[in-house]
């Protein structure tokens, strides 16, 4: 927990991390984090965050585009292989207003449509005072919550199958026979295909959010969407669907059809395209960043080897891109890249608005007719973040000796599974953090009495049956984690009961997920105005444990004798107070039975973790009013929540190089100095929904 650089000294305080939960209760964290500085850069000038301006728009009811019959498109090839195209019949739709215009004026009115309507307006907050970025994160958290619940169902189903290897293979498949049949019958990967029963957890999550009316932007819109900036990364096609950014989980072109768009887009020739995904689905694609040659849709084996197997036809998405060209309507471009740590093995980056300049038909690599569209990126948009994509691929990290501003090769001194370097390109000369003895296990002060170990489960090997595992029963009858992606917490809970030293299971048990040390490559770095901070070089999936808050376990009444500087890193263990909503704390979802709970004090927390001089990398993680981590109480050795362990989990899918943060949970005016006066400290997290004061 770092302090502002320009402060002479920090005011005396206790860091009461109250595990305050989000107002949207079932979802991780408190509020969602937004970078403050649009020009902030990391190593080698890699952009860490860019604040694109956003355009206010009011969500409306979801519309589904359908395939339209707009005549036939005939392509004739001469002996040289060149093609001649006949114009589509009945493809142009004119408004009554256009019909009254002169031919020349009508041409100008189409060509000179106000392009500013597609550009962001700069607003960060909606009419209710909520940031658009926070609404985006809230939607993605809902999706991840549904997704992990369906993964949990799949894993429970697997335990009932006799052939475990067959089950694991089934979970890994990107689609199954039912999905393929549905795609074949529907002719696309649209939301309509989800009417078919699917075993895929991501498609089930989409269906659930459609039923719950939780799609962020249910009405298709041309141009930028509020809160989704150039550089925004999605870690599955399903995430883009639930946001309303691209409504197809399989198709590359998202369109507004004639039947659903005729009222809002009166005067336009429909269909029109709103977004395309460029991710190597077609062998004829050419990508030169600012200029793209995009292959039209259809005719290739999407669920097989991706090769072209028949001619493309000028309809649906192909016709939409042609209409975009003729009406000067830009299209959102999303690029897909390989990402080994993403559960889809891909990451999708929004690279901004592109204009379709012209199109043609030609014989493709496989000898079938394909349509080609040349798109050029509109000027005035933020630069592409290709370097950050490289970090996502795991290819962007240099040898530590080459890191700019490297002041410490490993702050852990070899005690962790992974080295944690420290960089400082802010101070001149650069300095390393001081005053910390790194430890990896909690140390207990003499004044603290640890309760006896609780009885563990009788499982052997790994815990797999939640009905017979006593630890699962303590968690409400289910394991709190799923094994996917190395172990992910399904949702934030009042308290998590993990398997401990008295249990019969081994170290690979899913219910020991947070006990395996650092898994992701972290870096401690110096900021301009918040002191030291932490970021990851790797993608971190939501629900994954990042690190435990390791420090010296003390009684709270000992803190008065600790210096002000060490007081900066005190974490009060107020799990019981949070679970019961005591002292303005927001009660978490979930009911648990705590042994001997009547003996726990309902007043102020009795114990705390002091990382002033002895601790781990968690002490450098900063506060944010819109964080990407959340705090979780965990019990292993015993069942006393007043002495619970504190573990930081990912609240979101966190892309590489994004600063890690959690909500410190102060109540305003809760810190009082020795003179009895209320102390104030202004917050510098930079989030759109910043509360302005830390306490």
171-213 pLDDT per residue, tens: 555 444 444 433 333 344 444 444 444 579 999 999 999 999 9
- Lowest-pLDDT choice from 286-290, 306-310, 358-362: 286-290
The pLDDT value recorded for residue 123 is: 59
Q: Which residue in the block uniquely carries the two structure tokens 């790797």?
A: 538
**Percent residues over pLDDT 70 in the chain:** 67
The band of 668, judged by pLDDT with boundaries at 50, 70 and 90, is confident
**The pLDDT value given to residue 92:** 34
pLDDT value, residue 565: 54
pLDDT of residue 439: 97
State the average pLDDT over residues 285-303. Answer: 76
What pLDDT score was predicted for residue 644?
95
pTM of the model: 0.76
Residues 583-624 pLDDT 10s? 545 555 455 555 555 445 556 788 999 999 999 999 999 999
416 pLDDT more than 80: yes
For residue range 215-259, list pLDDT tens digits in order: 999 999 999 999 999 989 999 999 999 999 999 988 899 999 988
Whole-number Å distance between alpha carbons of 34 and 36: 6
CB 254 within 8 A of CB 260: no
The tokens for 629 are: 């981590």
Mean pLDDT of 375-392: 72
Alpha-carbon span 328 to 353, nearest angstrom: 12
Considering only CA atoms, give the Rg of the chain.
Answer: 28
- Choose from 16-25, 109-118, 334-343 the range with maximum mean pLDDT: 334-343
Give how far Cα 302 sits from Cα of 159, 251, 298, 599, Å. Answer: 31, 9, 9, 61
**Residue 552 forms beta bridges with which residues?**
443, 610
Q: Give the span between the Cα atoms of 28 and 151, in whole angstroms.
A: 17
Residues 7-32 have a mean pLDDT of 33
289: pLDDT confidence band, cut at 50, 70 and 90? confident
Quick check: 578 and 630 in contact, CB under 8 A? no
Q: pLDDT at residue 403 above 80?
A: yes
Query: Smallest Cα–Cα separation from 373: which of 300, 324, 307?
Result: 324
Q: Tell me, what DSSP letter sits at residue 192? A: G
Of 635, 642, 593, 646, give the one whose Cα is nearest residue 453.
Answer: 635
pLDDT at 388: 46
pLDDT at 595: 55
- The number of residues making up the chain comes to 695
CA distance 388 to 35: 16
Question: Is the pLDDT at 382 greater than 50, yes or no?
Answer: yes
CB 412 within 8 A of CB 436: no
Res. 459: pLDDT tops 90: yes
Let me know if 93 is exposed, middle or buried by CB neighbors in 10 A (0-12, 13-18, 19+): middle
Q: Residue 295: is its pLDDT beyond 80?
A: yes
233 conformational bin, left if phi > 0, alpha if psi -120 to 50, beta if neither: beta
Q: What is the full DSSP assignment across 84-103? A: EEPPPTT-----HHHHTS-H
N-to-C CA span, the chain:
14
Q: Which is more confidently placed, 538 or 61? A: 538
Average pLDDT score over residue span 81-86: 36
Rounded mean pLDDT of the chain?
76
The mean-pLDDT minimum among 61-75, 117-131, 625-639 falls in 61-75
Reading phi first (left if > 0) and then psi (alpha if -120 to 50, else beta), residue 71 is in: left
């Amino acid at each position: 927990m770092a302090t502002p650089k320009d402060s002479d000294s920090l005011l005396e305080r206790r860091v009461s991390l109250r595990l305050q939960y989000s107002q949207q209760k079932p979802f991780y964290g408190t509020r969602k984090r937004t970078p403050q500085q649009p020009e902030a850069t990391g190593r080698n000038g890699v952009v860490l965050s860019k604040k694109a301006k956003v355009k206010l728009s009011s969500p409306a009811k979801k519309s589904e585009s359908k395939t339209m019959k707009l005549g036939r498109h005939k392509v004739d090839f001469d002996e040289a292989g060149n093609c001649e195209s006949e114009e589509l019949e009945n493809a142009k739709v004119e408004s009554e207003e256009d019909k009254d215009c002169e031919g020349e004026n009508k041409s100008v009115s189409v060509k000179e449509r106000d392009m500013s309507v597609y550009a962001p307006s700069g607003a960060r907050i909606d009419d209710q005072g909520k940031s658009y970025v926070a609404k985006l994160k809230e939607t993605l958290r809902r999706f991840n919550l549904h997704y992990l619940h369906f993964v949990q169902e799949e894993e429970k189903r697997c335990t009932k199958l006799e052939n475990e290897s067959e089950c694991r293979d089934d979970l890994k498949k990107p689609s199954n026979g039912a999905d393929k049949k549905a795609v074949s019958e529907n002719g696309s990967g649209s939301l309509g295909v989800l009417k078919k029963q699917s075993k895929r957890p991501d498609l089930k999550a989409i269906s659930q959010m459609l039923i719950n009316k939780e799609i962020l932007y249910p009405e298709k819109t041309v141009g930028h969407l509020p809160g989704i900036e150039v550089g925004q990364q999605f870690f599955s096609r399903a995430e883009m669907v639930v946001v309303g950014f691209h409504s197809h989980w399989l198709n590359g072109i998202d369109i507004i059809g004639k039947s659903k768009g005729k009222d809002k887009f009166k005067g336009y020739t429909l269909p029109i395209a709103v977004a395309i995904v460029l991710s190597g689905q077609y062998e004829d694609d050419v990508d030169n960043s600012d200029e793209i040659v995009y292959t039209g849709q259809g005719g290739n084996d999407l669920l097989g080897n991706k090769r072209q197997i028949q001619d493309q036809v000028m309809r649906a998405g192909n016709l939409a891109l042609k209409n975009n060209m003729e009406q000067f309507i830009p299209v959102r471009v999303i690029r897909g890249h390989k990402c080994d740590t993403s559960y889809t093995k891909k990451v999708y980056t929004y690279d901004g608005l592109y204009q379709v300049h012209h199109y043609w038909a030609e014989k493709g690599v496989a000898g079938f007719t394909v349509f080609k569209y040349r798109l050029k990126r509109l000027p005035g948009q933020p630069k592409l973040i290709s370097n950050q994509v490289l970090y996502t691929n795991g290819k962007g990290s240099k040898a530590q000796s080459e890191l700019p501003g490297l002041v410490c090769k490993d702050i852990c001194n070899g005690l962790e599974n992974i080295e944690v370097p420290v960089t400082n390109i802010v101070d001149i000369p650069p300095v390393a953090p001081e005053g910390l003895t790194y430890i990896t296990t909690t140390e207990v002060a003499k004044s603290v009495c640890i309760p006896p170990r609780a009885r563990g489960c009788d499982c052997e090997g790994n815990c797999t049956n939640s009905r017979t595992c006593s630890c699962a029963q303590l968690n409400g009858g289910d394991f709190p984690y799923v094994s996917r992606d190395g172990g992910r917490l399904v949702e934030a809970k009042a308290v998590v009961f993990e398997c401990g030293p008295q249990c019969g299971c081994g170290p690979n048990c899913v219910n020991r997920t947070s006990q395996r040390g650092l898994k992701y490559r972290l870096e401690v770095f110096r900021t301009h105005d918040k002191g030291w901070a932490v970021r990851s070089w790797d993608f971190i999936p939501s629900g994954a444990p990042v690190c435990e808050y390791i420090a010296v376990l003390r009684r709270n009444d000992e803190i008065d004798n600790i210096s002000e500087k060490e007081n900066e890193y005190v974490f009060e263990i107020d799990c019981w107070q949070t679970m019961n909503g005591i002292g303005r704390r927001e009660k978490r979802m979930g009911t648990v039975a705590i042994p001997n709970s009547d003996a726990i004090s309902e007043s102020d927390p009795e114990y705390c973790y002091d990382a002033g001089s002895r601790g781990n990398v968690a002490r450098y993680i900063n506060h944010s009013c819109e964080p990407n981590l959340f705090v979780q109480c965990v019990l292993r050795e015993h069942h006393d929540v007043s002495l619970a362990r504190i573990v930081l989990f990912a609240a979101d899918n966190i892309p590489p190089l994004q600063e890690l943060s959690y909500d410190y949970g102060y109540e305003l005016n809760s810190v009082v100095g020795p003179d009895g006066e209320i102390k104030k400290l202004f917050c510098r997290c930079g989030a759109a929904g910043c509360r302005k004061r830390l306490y």
